Structure 1
């Protein structure tokens, strides 16, 4: 997780930093082929140069973005998990549990759906 070291040190709240580290470590443990990258000052995971999932932190939540196509595909699952969402991301409040099953489904979906993708973002 060396790619995220500077980003993580900028999360002032220790419990929030620990939670983000746990999520990133879980992703790397579950999906060892993903590459951790920091682009546009946002931590994200890529595979063969294409975006799989990205994150950003805010005062009250962690934002998760599986791209707009992923948001549409998992809209019902996101709503059932109780997360608030926009067109491009959903929010996990710091006091809410992380739905790892949902994260796993999103990451697996993007890995499979973008297996032949030759661009960073979907076209």
Structure 2
């Protein structure tokens, strides 16, 4: 994920940098068809020019933003995983495990749901 290298280097904590690298590598390996982009200083992944998910980081957590439609559809799963959430994103604390199966289902839903979508956002 060369595109995100400077973004990742912006974090002082080496464990946080390592986690981000791991997640971005998982994304690239699991969804090689998605294009990594950096918009508004946020790492994102797109499919045919439409937004699929943004994965950002802060001091105490990582934020995963798949858009409100996906958040609503997976709200119970997000809660069950123990993640805090808002209308448009959920947060995984640095000391929490990433539920990659949940993340995969959410991304697959967005790819399928937005297959014919032409704009960036829903």
RMSD across aligned positions (CA): 0.6
Gaps of 5+ in 2: none
Moved more, 31-40 or 1-10: 1-10
Partner of 1:89: 89
TM-score by length of 1: 0.97
- 2:52 matches 1:52: yes
Name the counterpart of 2:101. Answer: 101
Could you say which residue in structure 1 is the equivalent of 2:71? Answer: 71
C-alpha deviations, 1:6-50, integer Å up to 9, x for none? 111101110001001101100110110000000000001001000
Stretches (4+) displaced over 2 A: none
2:10: which partner in 1?
10
How many residues end up aligned between the 2 structures?
122
- 1:72 positional shift: 0.5
TM-score (norm 2): 0.98
What's the offset of the Cα at 1:100? 0.2
Q: Which runs of 5+ in 1 are unaligned?
A: none
